[in-house]
Amino acid sequence: APGQCVAALDLLTGLPADKKASYVEPNAGHYGIFAGRSWRENIRPLVLDFIDANSEAPAERKRTKPRAKHANKNAAA
């Protein structure tokens, strides 16, 4: 449903408003928003622009001590 994205964004109270965006493509169904002409011409460019605008890498954290390595319990013997 079109309101799901907005409802989900409202739950992200720790995320600044400038890091949130939503868009409703007129006359596009569930499949149409992910494939076809609406995706290529309207939605994909918006998604890529949003990613580009928000892709700045966060500052690297400095660790005070090395992280301990744990054995992979799911690995084949």
- At 71 the pLDDT is 61
Q: Is residue 49 part of a domain?
A: yes
Q: Is residue 76 part of a domain?
A: no
Give the dihedral sign, CA 2/38/35/40: negative
Q: Is residue 42 part of a domain?
A: yes
Nearest Cα to Cα of residue 19 among 51, 60, 43: 51
Query: What residue numbers bound the domain in which 31 lies?
Result: 3-53
Q: What is the mean pLDDT of each run of 10 residues along the chain (77 residues)?
A: 83 92 85 85 93 76 56 58
- Tell me, yes or no, if the pTM score tops 0.75: no
Q: Is residue 29 part of a domain?
A: yes
Q: Is residue 13 part of a domain?
A: yes
- At 58 the pLDDT is 61
Round the CA-based radius of gyration of the chain to a whole number and report it.
19
Q: Is residue 17 part of a domain?
A: yes
Q: Is residue 71 part of a domain?
A: no
- At 47 the pLDDT is 93
Domain count, the chain: 1
Query: Quick check: 74 and 51 in contact, CB under 8 A?
Result: no
